[in-house]
Amino acid sequence: MAIYPILQYPDPRLSQAGQVVTDFSDATQIIIDNMIETHYAQKNCAALAATQLGIPLQITVIDFSEEKNDLLVLVNPVLTPVGTQTTCTKEGCMSVGLYTNQHIQAKVERAETILVKAQDRYGQPIEFEADGFLAKCIQHECDHLHGKIFLDHLKQVTRQILEKKIRK
């Protein structure tokens, strides 16, 4: 097991999309185990995407439960909004200030409910609907897997204000 370093904005690797995972062998299982260990080693971490750890693969690990006992591993997730309702709530990111205890947050508009189609860590298909914080979290992670961070959703002026606050 190993703990991966979490890439920090503006690391250019955060802008690179992950590749679709087709290999579910031991090598991938080790990566996923290390991602889980990395996730649980952090304070205030809801989820991590492989692309935040310098691994260009479409894998995310999610657990925002108090007891850290509600793990969700999504591989190759594809999201579809359900309905047209959106919510606009504050987001932060382990790659944008959170890791270094800076309070860099901004409101981001997300679909309230999404249909998630993905594979589990062994390649088995998963499909479920998510809403609320889980839906927001999965959308944020899926952005990472496509080389996008929450700052990319903001108006230029809002982003500039936050960028000034980010310690480089």
Residues at the contact surface with Ni ion, assessed by CB under 5 A: 93
* Cβ distance to Ni ion smaller for residue 24 or 107: 107
Three-state SS at 164 = helix
Q: 134: which strand partners?
A: none
Output the CA angle 88-120-11, nearest 5 degrees.
Answer: 55
Provide the minimum distance between the beta carbon of 125 and Ni ion in the complex, in angstroms, as a whole number: 25
Task: Residue 89: count other Cβ atoms within 10 Å of its Cβ.
Answer: 12
* Cβ distance to Ni ion smaller for residue 21 or 145: 145
Q: CA 34 to CA 45: how far, in whole Å?
A: 15
* Cβ distance to Ni ion smaller for residue 24 or 64: 64
Output the CA angle 65-46-116, nearest 5 degrees.
Answer: 90
Provide the minimum distance between the beta carbon of 146 and Ni ion in the complex, in angstroms, as a whole number: 12
Find, among 93, 95, 99, 45, the residue nearest to 68 by Cα: 45
Q: Residue number with the shortest CB distance to Ni ion?
A: 93
* Cβ distance to Ni ion smaller for residue 25 or 39: 39
Among 112, 129, 141, 163, the active-site one is 141
Q: CA 27 to CA 127: how far, in whole Å?
A: 25
Provide the minimum distance between the beta carbon of 52 and Ni ion in the complex, in angstroms, as a whole number: 6
Decide if 66 is catalytic.
no
Report, as residue numbers or ranges, the catalytic residues.
141
